[in-house]
Structure 1
């Protein structure tokens, strides 16, 4: 979809890339084809580890953050409005003044609203509409400086636009935090740690020897480093579904994601559960919160000998799963 719009924009002259200089591609997603762009000049910039690794495996220079100046940029629009604005502001700053900044996105990701906002602030080209999305181009400059990402303080935690639950503590995580036992001890991991809320609760237990914060989103992990300053904490920018703990763990806490794009994807949560079973010791315990409608029960019984619902709320189910059947 994205490649079809890029191909047409280049062919029609709507997007004219400078003859020299690096081209930043911000936040492309797994499966996005960039073959119409000059590969030797591209820099894929994404802090989401699965996307980062997918492009790196295909030979693209890839980094979690932009460094230096670029001749052009292409912004692959995310769904969150604040995050989209922050990426556009970043692109307008890292590109040489007057250089082309391209914004591309699906209608379901809010491209129409973003283009409307841009028209009031920059010299936006006509938009190209194709494959249920739109693309437009504007010259880099300072017009979007007030859209730049700024840290926020939420209940004593630092967050930034684009991270999960940036506006407040996730209700499911709060339910799990309240249920964690006071005598939690040993080596622990928080899979999908986000900006560190659950890990801070874990580290409030004196018996905890270490807590591994495993998070795929680099910006969320940067926030976690500010929010969790305990020397027992270790930070891992990694895909939790493939992460391997440095040693087998006594406990894992998690509030796993269950969306890829707009649609629910229970398979993602299932992959988190399997990762927990792999990384726990034979006597290890998983502490899980999940939306009640998610079909995790059967999977849990194939991964753990002892699976017990320990409470929750009308929206969330709390589960204690112990004695993993599959370990490393």
Structure 2
């Protein structure tokens, strides 16, 4: 594990932690270097299930919602600027007079956040390394305007929050998928990577669907889905879709799989969704998937299903239908 900016700054003595009190870490990843922090005092706030599970396995106390009060709060910058602002405002509120440490990559806005914080209060010199930046300050109540202002209201009564995928509007790919689905669908379905429930609400307009399982790794997104999809046929699972095992195989799967966890596209995520889906289906099961036109999923689909076809699409998206999984067991990991 490569030494993090946080470990380096604590180990070289440039920054000292208070000897007592809880330490909050907002947004730590499953494999982040946290060795310089006393594990028994740490509380990690993390709502992404794969990271949550990895941190629990490492022996950390992990929660989806901050408790406090804290003596120290470490805020790791998120991809969403609004989400980072919300986290920082909450950390300051829950760490009154305590130490706030901000750490993140330049691609996630580290330089900008450093400048913005310096306009509000006294901030340390920045420690720059590995295309990122870390700085710290004593918490003062000067970030109230960055606090979460409540849910985002979208058309058709949908509700989201800052930081979830496509928080400001329905994803174009999901809209294309809904429009391309055939009139007849299997009765027992799963929405793999369900997000805040756009696909599922539209699917449940079909009376012949008897059961729909929403499987989503982002806790905040799934909580939005619970509010957006009010239907007794809906079942909600906070889970890593690539590792989920249903109680019974599904007849069909609908999915708009993610294709990045950072700012760089990673087709392997979508490929993992495909192989996982094949393991969740009945022998005659079928999957409908939407993907950006350039993402190379066809080979993985042909290796996992007997039949694959493109049923709709345009210059930006393709809608793929795959039927009859070649093996009805989850691949080894």
Same fold by TM-score greater than 0.5:
yes
Partner of 1:280: 281
Whether the aligned pair in 1 keeps the contact of 2:11 and 2:36 (CA below 8 Å) is no
> Distance between the aligned counterparts of 1:287 and 1:317, measured in 2?
11
Partner of 1:65: 65
Whether the aligned pair in 1 keeps the contact of 2:7 and 2:35 (CA below 8 Å) is no
For structure 1, which segment, 138-147 or 186-195, has the greater mean C-alpha deviation from structure 2 after superposition? 138-147
Give 1:312 shift. Answer: 1.4
Q: SS at the partner of 1:263? A: coil
Partner of 2:86: 86
In structure 2, stretches of 5+ residues that fail to align are: none
1:40 is the counterpart of 2:28: no
Give 1:240 shift. Answer: 0.3
1:255 is the counterpart of 2:262: no
1:269 is the counterpart of 2:270: yes
Partner of 1:304: 305
In structure 1, stretches of 5+ residues that fail to align are: none
Q: Matches of residues 12-31 of structure 1 in structure 2 within 5 Å?
A: 14-31=14-31
Whether the aligned pair in 1 keeps the contact of 2:7 and 2:33 (CA below 8 Å) is no
> Distance between the aligned counterparts of 1:178 and 1:33, measured in 2?
44
Whether the aligned pair in 2 keeps the contact of 1:172 and 1:255 (CA below 8 Å) is yes
Whether the aligned pair in 2 keeps the contact of 1:289 and 1:319 (CA below 8 Å) is yes
Q: SS at the partner of 1:305? A: strand
Q: Scaled by the length of structure 1, what TM-score is found?
A: 0.96
Deviations 1:102-126 (A, max 9, x none): 1001112210011111112233222
Deviations 1:94-144 (A, max 9, x none): 21x110111001112210011111112233222111222111112223211
Q: Matches of residues 303-322 of structure 1 in structure 2 within 5 Å?
A: 303-322=304-323
Q: SS at the partner of 2:191? A: strand
Q: Scaled by the length of structure 2, what TM-score is found?
A: 0.94
Q: SS at the partner of 1:56? A: helix
Partner of 1:119: 118
> Distance between the aligned counterparts of 1:226 and 1:202, measured in 2?
16
Q: SS at the partner of 2:278? A: helix
Cα distance change on mapping 1:216 and 1:141 into 2, 3 Å: same
**Cα-Cα RMSD:** 1.5
Whether the aligned pair in 1 keeps the contact of 2:190 and 2:215 (CA below 8 Å) is yes
Partner of 2:4: 4
> Distance between the aligned counterparts of 2:181 and 2:120, measured in 1?
49
1:77 is the counterpart of 2:80: no
Give 1:16 shift. Answer: 2.8
